[in-house]
Structure 1
Amino acid sequence: MVPESVKKAGKRAVRYPDAELDVPVISVESWLRRFIRNPIPLIVEYLYALFPILGWISRYNLGWLTGDLIAGITVGMVVVPQGMSYAKIATLPAEYGLYSSFVGVTIYCFFATSKDVSIGPVAVMSLTVSQIIKHVEDAHGTEWGRPQIATTLAFICGFIVLGIGLLRLGWLVEFIPAPAVSGFMTGSAINIVAGQVPGLMGITGFDTRAATYKVIINTLKGLPRTTLDASFGLTGLFCLYAIRIGCDKLTKRYPKRARVFFFLSVLRNAFVILVLTIASWLYTRHRKSASGKYPISILGTVPRGFQHVQPPNIDPNLVSALAGQLPVATIILLLEHIAISKSFGRVNGYKINPNQELIAIGVTNTVGTVFGAYPATGSFSRSALKSKSGVRTPLAGIFTAIVVIVALYGLTPAFFWIPSAGLSAVIIHAVADLVASPAQVFSYWRVAPLEFVIWAAAVLVTVFSSIENGIYTSIIASLVLLLIRVAHPRGAFLGKVILKEDVEGSTKQREVFLPLTQDGLRSSHIKVHPPSPGVLIYRYEESFLYPNCSRLNDILVDYVKKHMRRGRDLSTIRLSDRPWNDPGPPRGTTASAEQEENLLKPDLHAIVLDFSSISHIDTTAIQSLIDTRNEIERWANHPVEFHFATILSPWIRRALVAGGFGVGHTVSKAPQEIAPVVPYRDGLRDRQLGELREESADHDDIEKSISSKSKGDVNISSGVVPLPLETPFFHLDLPPAVHAAESGLP
């Protein structure tokens, strides 16, 4: 006797009083209702989320102020020499690095969801800017000045990133995996170091923005032309590493004074630049030649204050000239910042909002053009320094900005005497940390060898070609690998292993299903028993979608044709009646011998499909599954049961039911096409569709069919109905599905 509650299955939900379980009937209306809400709260929530500072500024306290003050001043001591150094990488005057530093740290605190990230000029973006400037100058000469090219680039890229953030499209960044980003960063770091060695040694006479391998070759050729600049550059580089290594060792030896040694190490950049500047001033102030040159290359005049505050001058012709370079610049802004902010969020136990971070980057770069800033993004070295200095909130950026303003208005006369080789030493010392360590690279190989190949390809292309080609190579290779994984899913035919466990003095058994073929991961001593003859168990390991459904269809059909009995008597089939693609009996044998071999195979009764790893399914996949059923039943020459285990989504159940699965249809009433590409119809198909509609409308017939075929999953007498009775071939778990399939064997 079927409970009355089951007869009401056509309503929105079925309630089973004893089990207190609702089984919703999924409809398009219920799906749409999730997205139709009162727009006013959503708009208010969206606008409030644009300014995360509103969520914490009212709780600001003296303890936070102390940490932010120390971290802000510490980062400011580093960003001033780094900003000027990175501006030289971008082939811009040094003051533009300070402009970018000021705007980045000031604006970011209002939009930040990360307390640790410091925005400003970075080495990789600066190198990219120099490459883009070179590209425009090669094509158009000196029609536009380098600062105008850089600020225009910042405005357009910032506007694009801002749009991506406002539209909440930050998830696009997730398509680029960590090894690809690491490979691009490593190649870029090698590129930057190679380009700074000539400045460190005072070697001139060739293009340091050429491909990395060319720069290295020309540097080696130019070693005999080394000048006095090398004494400043090599000394500065040696001192930077000596101070860091010495402080690290002293920290381990005297852990109680770790905080002191940390700040001594942090100030090494400012200390070295200060000492080199004094030495440069003492040596060069009375050695100016008649032509106005000094014996070493020095930074020169740095204008005091903000000299280029004005509305951005966006020339449409310049925008057209930059069009081909915008994608790579935008990608670098996205990748570097999101990777850094996520990394520090994981380390320090908070979650960042990628879309909001993109908004921060976009606003920083668009507003920065008013001050003459060039493209800025998150800096790994300064963010790490900010985190280790004990930063408490994003407001620390304001104190960093104050340090930059003091430098712009009070220290520019001293900047004149900074040796260029000293700035090259600062760059090399900072950028070398971006190169992936051997342990990190080996971890890529251990986890996923193909991703190691992507990492290596990104590095090699960046070194032997350009940053632009390197980043495109890493992105395209990652997407191709993703498509290959989707289009070639893994799966396995399963067998059974009985595990015996001692629980409170009694032995209990449970079934575990493992691949029939040895996968190299399990012990060779474990014997996997195949299911009963006539039953197949297959587990999908990817979502069942249009790129991979044909392959999964081929796997099932080919396995059935190889291991299961063909339903027709092969000895009665004449050669002329066989299809052209049926190879027939092997050469030298007869059809009778072929039939005898065929009879040794089991007769296929049921196929159990484990859907535990499938989260999505589409129309093409359902059609492919229908084709699989039709082809297998033609081979077996009788209906074959299809059981489905562990379907997680109600939408997957809905889709399978639409394809005639789970409800126990006979082959004559199951749909042959769920969504035909060519709308071909004939009388037979129309009659079949009519029969399906009649059957769906007749609940009494469904109940009779289900009552006779329900197996194992449904316990009506106890009131526990895990799944609706209308779908007896859907099962909560794999063991009940296998038992249901095996229970129908003759």
Structure 2
Amino acid sequence: MAPTAAGRTAAKVLGINLDYRNEHQDLPVPDTDSVEPYIEEEPTVKDWLLQFKPSRNGTQRYLRSLFPFWSWIFHYNFTWLAGDFIAGVTVGFVVIPQGMAYALLAKLPPEYGLYTSFMGFLLYWAFATSKDITIGACGILTVAVMSTIVGNIVIKVQDEHPDLGAPEIASALSVIAGAVLLFIGLIRAGWIVEFIPLVAITSFMTGAAFSIGCGQVPALMGITGVNTRGPTYLVIIDTLKGLPKTKLDAAMGLTALTMLYAIRIICNVMSKKQPHRKKMWFFISTLRMAFVILLYILISWLANRHVKDAKKAKFKILGKVPRGFQHAGAPKMNKELLSAIAPDLPVTIIVLILEHIAISKSFGRINNYIINPSQELVAVGFTNLLGPFLGAYPATGSFSRTAIKSKAGVRTPLAGIFTAVIVLLALYALTSVFFYIPSSSLAAIIIHAVGDLITPPDVIYQFWQTSPLEVVIFFAGVLLTIFTNIENGIYLTIVAALVLLLWRHLKSHGAFLGKVSIYRATPDSFGSKDAYGPGSEKKVREAFLPTNHSDASNPFISFDSPYPGIFVYRFSEGFTYLNQQRYLDELTAHVQALARPTRLDRYEKLGDRPWNDPGPRRGQPINLEDNRPILRAIILDFSSVNHVDTSSVQGLIDVRRQLDRYASPEIVEWHFAAVNNRWAKRALTAAGFGYLSTDHVRARTHWNPVYSYAVVGDATPVVNEKVGHVDVETGDDIQHVGAGQQIGFKGKVSTVLGQNRPFFHIDVPAAVEAAIAGAENKLAQTSSMSSVEARAEVVGPKIG
């Protein structure tokens, strides 16, 4: 866009040269009406800002996206209702024992686990984009880790502020973390979850599962005096030392754990032997925790039915659980409490989103739907923000309940309502039964739940086959979790993965491409006339591959140079300030090694030579027989580049100046293939690339650029008897069909890319073709000028 008069005045005052490009506008175009001219317009800052301008339709779409249920609730039917009811009730029976067990991990009374589960199921469905995932204080790992982290925070805060109660700390943590997640979701910044890689998730899951499982062994065995919140290795040592103190609790815990694994193994075996009853065995396996906890409640009641005080029971039991919502009310928030929990907010937020997005994406792919990460953060944030008003603490998605719901045939997110009803009934009708739950049996449930989340060796081996360095990060995170705490393990894996990403980007290498002829045929038809190959009548295709065979191409294949003095270079991992220096150093060194300077005797005096190019030894002549080609063109493959920055563009400018001096008095052409981002084109154009400068017009008197054309407008196929590729009189694009017949498209043709940007090309072959045409035009022009000068030398003396 041309600058306004006011803009030019301001630029003149500031000393800004708006016409620094010296862009040559007079380009050769076909002299025919069938070619539609196309001039590429550069994007402006206004264009960039306008993409963020809210529109009426965009605002409506945003508001509708905040309540995804609006798109399916009016289509609800009895078939969906049956599936949701079965899945919701099934999950409800799993929720109750797990929810209370995980509340104990958070150093909270067991009823808080039920409050959290109830609020998660009640609120999440209205904001969810996943029908499978559920939120609450139960689940295989994520909530167990969240509960453990909440417990650690409670202990740490109470050490410094003993007047603060555990429920107050947990509620404040939930409100603040929920508000942050809600804000991230509302501004649609859910892409932030992509900073957490798979290796961080698996390491976190393995280390946390191992730590939580080891921390529950003392409760399983009835061993007291073990600090289960310390480093895992110390917990293991102290547990081994305390084995002689094992109590009757071990009988309730070990047998419960054995029964849980036995039921699961039997159900898995029987489902394979009886595939027609697979659904039945699935439900039996799913409800094993409910069966086991009911059985051990019965055993505990028989052993302690005359006990009124839980402390006097024969083994440790859960004790009194208040009926209903006894702790409902606005969470207490004050400066002291907020300052106390502030250092632990980052890890709380990370854990809240870590598994939730991973789980929802995983089950979305399994069940063929797409989740919206930003909206999922809205759902998690809203649940954690409002949950504390009924006594809930921080909670997130659960892998176990998600898997159960998915396999149970859930149809919509509304299934959470049925689970919430089950939890509500338990809060009002079963609290007297909860009194007799053995603590060791709850520990068995936790160990059984988290044991499955330890990454198996075959998965680690797959990681090793894919990326060995990430396996190092995996084990580093696990070991740090074991020897310190879960929080440190999470931070280490995330930071290490990001450092690895930056290191790979920083140390990336480009590749020089060579030309190879490609023949295509089956083994049976190779060499025949009906197949591509030597001796066939079909056209051979040219491809450009890395000359160093870094792509694992056949090392016995040799590559040809596209043309003497023309080099094709491909960027491998973007082109930014991090790796531009390495890329351009490789490019310059390779080009100067394979192409000679245009003038071999360019330094008249010995003192004019630079220190890094001292030339031959003193007294020896310069080698004027250097048979290397002179440098003619550089082709950069931008297919892996989407954005450029000031450092990378300035690096290109510096290298262009360096190679221009090397090729002087010739001019090096710079061609760019597959530049797909308009802003990258603008940046390159601002640096003087992509167009012909008026400074170089004299050297390009016979310049005839090579463009890529395509049909525009009505592309109706027509049969034409004319021979050729494009009929410029009618505008038909002609392609060969059979003997004497061609198929074309009625209409005009135009350049795919702007005629004003002749050095930008759609792909590498197009760029190579244009560079070769430019080099040959130069040679023809040089040859013509040489013959004119020769004739002038012959005629001159006669005239004189």
Q: TM-score normalized by structure 2? A: 0.82
User: Structure 2: where are the runs of 5+ without partners?
Assistant: 1-22, 138-142, 522-528, 532-536, 710-725, 732-748, 780-800
SS at structure 2 position matched to 1:601:
coil
Name which of structure 1's ranges 162-171 and 566-575 shifts more when overlaid on structure 2: 566-575
Report 1:84-95 matches (<5 A): 84-95=100-111
| Residue matched to 1:525 | 556
| Residue matched to 1:728 | 758
Select 1:661's aligned residue among 668, 671, 689. Answer: 689
The runs of at least 4 consecutive aligned structure 1 residues that moved more than 6 Å come to 7-10, 14-17
SS at structure 2 position matched to 1:501:
coil
Q: Which AA in structure 1 matches 2:295?
A: V
Residues 1:214 and 1:585: Cα distance change in structure 2 (over 3 Å): farther
Q: Which AA in structure 1 matches 2:243?
A: L
Give the CA deviation at 1:658.
Answer: 1.9
Structure 2 residue 660 is matched with structure 1 residue 633: yes
Residues 1:167 and 1:575: Cα distance change in structure 2 (over 3 Å): same
Q: What is the alpha-carbon distance in structure 2 between the residues aligned to residue 377 and residue 276 of structure 1?
A: 29
Q: Which AA in structure 1 matches 2:64?
A: Y
SS at structure 1 position matched to 2:703:
helix
| Residue matched to 1:39 | 55
Q: What is the alpha-carbon distance in structure 1 between the residues aligned to residue 45 and residue 269 of structure 2?
A: 66
Q: What is the alpha-carbon distance in structure 1 between the residues aligned to residue 383 and residue 688 of structure 2?
A: 56
Indicate conservation of the 8 Å contact 2:24/2:692, yes or no.
no
Give the CA deviation at 1:479.
Answer: 1.6
Select 2:157's aligned residue among 125, 136, 151. Answer: 136
| Residue matched to 1:624 | 651
| Residue matched to 1:82 | 98
SS at structure 1 position matched to 2:237:
helix
SS at structure 1 position matched to 2:84:
helix
Q: What is the alpha-carbon distance in structure 2 between the residues aligned to residue 626 and residue 533 of structure 1?
A: 23
User: Structure 1: where are the runs of 5+ without partners?
Assistant: 1-6, 670-700
Structure 2 residue 592 is matched with structure 1 residue 564: no
| Residue matched to 2:322 | 303
| Residue matched to 1:643 | 671
Q: What is the alpha-carbon distance in structure 2 between the residues aligned to residue 253 and residue 597 of structure 1?
A: 84
| Residue matched to 1:537 | 568
Q: What is the alpha-carbon distance in structure 2 between the residues aligned to residue 438 and residue 58 of structure 1?
A: 47
- What's the CA shift string for 1:306-338, capped at 9, x where partnerless? 100111111220110111100000111111211
Indicate conservation of the 8 Å contact 1:664/1:705, yes or no.
no
Residues 1:313 and 1:29: Cα distance change in structure 2 (over 3 Å): closer
Structure 2 residue 771 is matched with structure 1 residue 741: yes
Give the CA deviation at 1:572.
Answer: 5.2
- What's the CA shift string for 1:208-233, capped at 9, x where partnerless? 01111111111122222211111111
Name which of structure 1's ranges 600-609 and 507-516 shifts more when overlaid on structure 2: 600-609
Select 2:301's aligned residue among 281, 288, 292. Answer: 281
| Residue matched to 1:708 | 703
Give the CA deviation at 1:563.
Answer: 2.8
Residues 1:712 and 1:354: Cα distance change in structure 2 (over 3 Å): closer
Residues 1:146 and 1:637: Cα distance change in structure 2 (over 3 Å): same
Give the CA deviation at 1:259.
Answer: 0.9
Q: What is the alpha-carbon distance in structure 2 between the residues aligned to residue 340 and residue 315 of structure 1?
A: 35
Give the CA deviation at 1:454.
Answer: 2.2
Indicate conservation of the 8 Å contact 2:357/2:373, yes or no.
yes
| Residue matched to 2:782 | none
Residues 1:292 and 1:211: Cα distance change in structure 2 (over 3 Å): closer
Select 1:332's aligned residue among 351, 356, 364. Answer: 351
Q: What is the alpha-carbon distance in structure 2 between the residues aligned to residue 600 and residue 464 of structure 1?
A: 65
| Residue matched to 1:111 | 127
Structure 2 residue 79 is matched with structure 1 residue 63: yes
Select 1:262's aligned residue among 265, 282, 299. Answer: 282
Q: Which AA in structure 2 matches 1:661?
A: F
SS at structure 1 position matched to 2:227:
coil
| Residue matched to 1:605 | 632
Structure 2 residue 243 is matched with structure 1 residue 223: yes
| Residue matched to 1:25 | 41
Indicate conservation of the 8 Å contact 1:549/1:621, yes or no.
yes
Residues 1:16 and 1:342: Cα distance change in structure 2 (over 3 Å): farther
Structure 2 residue 148 is matched with structure 1 residue 124: no
Q: What is the alpha-carbon distance in structure 1 between the residues aligned to residue 502 and residue 683 of structure 2?
A: 24
Q: What is the alpha-carbon distance in structure 1 between the residues aligned to residue 358 and residue 305 of structure 2?
A: 45
Select 2:456's aligned residue among 437, 451, 472. Answer: 437
Q: Which AA in structure 1 matches 2:303?
A: Y
Residues 1:263 and 1:597: Cα distance change in structure 2 (over 3 Å): farther
SS at structure 1 position matched to 2:670:
strand
SS at structure 2 position matched to 1:390:
coil
| Residue matched to 2:375 | 356
Q: What is the alpha-carbon distance in structure 2 between the residues aligned to residue 397 and residue 226 of structure 1?
A: 41
Report 1:316-331 matches (<5 A): 316-331=335-350
Q: What is the alpha-carbon distance in structure 1 between the residues aligned to residue 762 and residue 63 of structure 2?
A: 43
Q: What is the alpha-carbon distance in structure 2 between the residues aligned to residue 18 and residue 445 of structure 1?
A: 58
Residues 1:21 and 1:571: Cα distance change in structure 2 (over 3 Å): closer
Report 1:455-466 matches (<5 A): 455-466=474-485
Indicate conservation of the 8 Å contact 1:454/1:474, yes or no.
yes
Give the CA deviation at 1:48.
Answer: 2.0
Give the CA deviation at 1:38.
Answer: 6.0
Select 1:99's aligned residue among 94, 115, 132. Answer: 115
Give the CA deviation at 1:542.
Answer: 2.6
Select 1:577's aligned residue among 595, 608, 612. Answer: 608
Indicate conservation of the 8 Å contact 1:16/1:721, yes or no.
no
| Residue matched to 1:4 | none
Residues 1:310 and 1:525: Cα distance change in structure 2 (over 3 Å): same
Indicate conservation of the 8 Å contact 1:645/1:732, yes or no.
yes
Name which of structure 1's ranges 59-68 and 438-447 shifts more when overlaid on structure 2: 438-447
Q: What is the alpha-carbon distance in structure 2 between the residues aligned to residue 650 and residue 16 of structure 1?
A: 29
Select 2:175's aligned residue among 155, 168, 190. Answer: 155
Q: What is the alpha-carbon distance in structure 2 between the residues aligned to residue 36 and residue 80 of structure 1?
A: 46
Q: What is the alpha-carbon distance in structure 2 between the residues aligned to residue 563 and residue 706 of structure 1?
A: 28
| Residue matched to 1:412 | 431
Give the CA deviation at 1:181.
Answer: 1.3
- Identical amino acids, percent of aligned pairs: 49
| Residue matched to 1:675 | none
Indicate conservation of the 8 Å contact 1:709/1:728, yes or no.
no
SS at structure 2 position matched to 1:174:
helix
| Residue matched to 1:199 | 219
Q: Which AA in structure 2 matches 1:106?
A: L
Indicate conservation of the 8 Å contact 2:219/2:443, yes or no.
yes
Q: What is the alpha-carbon distance in structure 1 between the residues aligned to residue 274 and residue 156 of structure 2?
A: 52
Residues 1:652 and 1:424: Cα distance change in structure 2 (over 3 Å): same
Q: What is the alpha-carbon distance in structure 1 between the residues aligned to residue 254 and residue 75 of structure 2?
A: 48
Indicate conservation of the 8 Å contact 1:501/1:507, yes or no.
no
Q: What is the alpha-carbon distance in structure 2 between the residues aligned to residue 254 and residue 82 of structure 1?
A: 30
Residues 1:22 and 1:240: Cα distance change in structure 2 (over 3 Å): farther
Q: What is the alpha-carbon distance in structure 2 between the residues aligned to residue 368 and residue 130 of structure 1?
A: 18
Residues 1:736 and 1:391: Cα distance change in structure 2 (over 3 Å): same
Select 1:476's aligned residue among 473, 481, 495. Answer: 495
Indicate conservation of the 8 Å contact 1:15/1:23, yes or no.
no
Q: Which AA in structure 1 matches 2:674?
A: T
Indicate conservation of the 8 Å contact 1:232/1:276, yes or no.
yes
Name which of structure 1's ranges 562-571 and 95-104 shifts more when overlaid on structure 2: 562-571
Q: What is the alpha-carbon distance in structure 2 between the residues aligned to residue 77 and residue 452 of structure 1?
A: 38
Instruction: Give the alignment's Cα RMSD to 1 decimal.
Output: 2.8
Indicate conservation of the 8 Å contact 1:570/1:591, yes or no.
no
